Chain A
Amino acid sequence: MSDVIETDYTTDPPTITERDFTPEELAQREADRIALEQAQADLIAKQEADRVAREAAIEHAKSLGFTDEMIAVMYPNLGAQA
Chain B
Amino acid sequence: MAGSTPIYGFPYPESSDLVANYPALGQDLAEDIEGVIAAIPPGGLSMVNPTSIANSGGSASASGGQVTFTGVSSVSLNGVFTSAYENYRIVLRAFTASGSADTNMRLRASGTDNSANSYIRQYVIANAGTVSGANVTQTFLHVVFSDTISGFGDFELNRPSLAETTQYKSLGGRSDYVLINTGLHNVASAFDGFTLYPSASTITGNVRVYGYKNS
Contacts and interface: CB of A to CB of B under 8 A. Distances in A.
Interface of A: 3-10, 21, 24, 28, 31-32, 35-36
Interface in B28-87: 49-56, 59-62
Chain B interface residue number, banded:
10 to 19
* B interface: dominant SS: strand
Contacts, number: 39
A6 B75 CA distance: 10
Nearest to A35: B139
A10 B60 contact: no
Contact of B53 (A6, A28, A35, A36): A6
30 contacts: A4-B54, A4-B55, A4-B56, A5-B54, A5-B55, A5-B56, A5-B59, A6-B53, A6-B54, A7-B53, A7-B54, A7-B60, A7-B61, A7-B62, A8-B51, A8-B52, A9-B50, A9-B51, A9-B52, A9-B53, A9-B62, A10-B51, A10-B52, A21-B56, A28-B113, A31-B139, A32-B139, A32-B140, A35-B139, A36-B199
